[in-house]
Amino acid sequence: MGVPEAVMASAVIAIMGIMILPVPPALLDLLLSLSLTIAIVVLLIALFIERPLEFSTFPTMLLVVTLFRLSMNVASTRLILLHGADGMDAAGKVIKSFGNFVLGGNYVVGIVVFSILVLINFMVITKGSGRIAEVAAR
């Protein structure tokens, strides 16, 4: 096994550890910031490549980054459910700041934004499922 394979295997094991083990809020803040940074870098790479073969690792990277984000979702949900009564910083400062940014101090606005996001996610998942069914039918 070469170095890239070992790094990838270690990353997947670490991602599984994030899902299983409790993560402190400070580490979750760091991981959320890392996730946002990775998303921006991947977007910029995808925008500025000349040929698709220059970014041939995109499907693998997309899979690993999605798994990383899902693990952070599990970790943040665990923190919120276990320590939500401790105060607004129970899940870290990044989640609190993003919540304050989206809400804008008004819960009605937050509910409307949340409803729109749920609707968009539903439409994306429905379209993706339909496309998968079309490809599988061939």
How crowded is the C-beta side of 98, counted as CA atoms within 13 Å? 10
pTM value is 0.77
Alpha-carbon span 50 to 79, nearest angstrom: 42
What's the pLDDT at 75?
92
Alpha-carbon span 105 to 99, nearest angstrom: 9
Read off the pLDDT of residues 24-45 as tens digits, 9 standing for 90 and up: 999 999 999 999 999 999 999 9
What's the pLDDT at 37?
96
Other Cβ atoms closer than 10 A to 72: 19
What's the pLDDT at 106?
83
What's the pLDDT at 33?
94
What's the pLDDT at 53?
84
Q: At what angle do helices 58-83 and 25-48 cross, to 10 degrees?
A: 150
Residue-wise pLDDT tens for the chain (138 aa)?
788 788 888 888 999 998 899 999 999 999 999 999 999 999 999 899 988 888 888 888 888 899 999 999 999 999 989 988 887 778 889 988 888 887 777 888 888 888 998 999 888 888 878 877 777 777
Which runs of consecutive H residues, i.e. helices, occur in the chain? 3-20, 25-48, 58-83, 93-103, 107-137
Domain locations in the chain as residue ranges: 3-98, 104-138
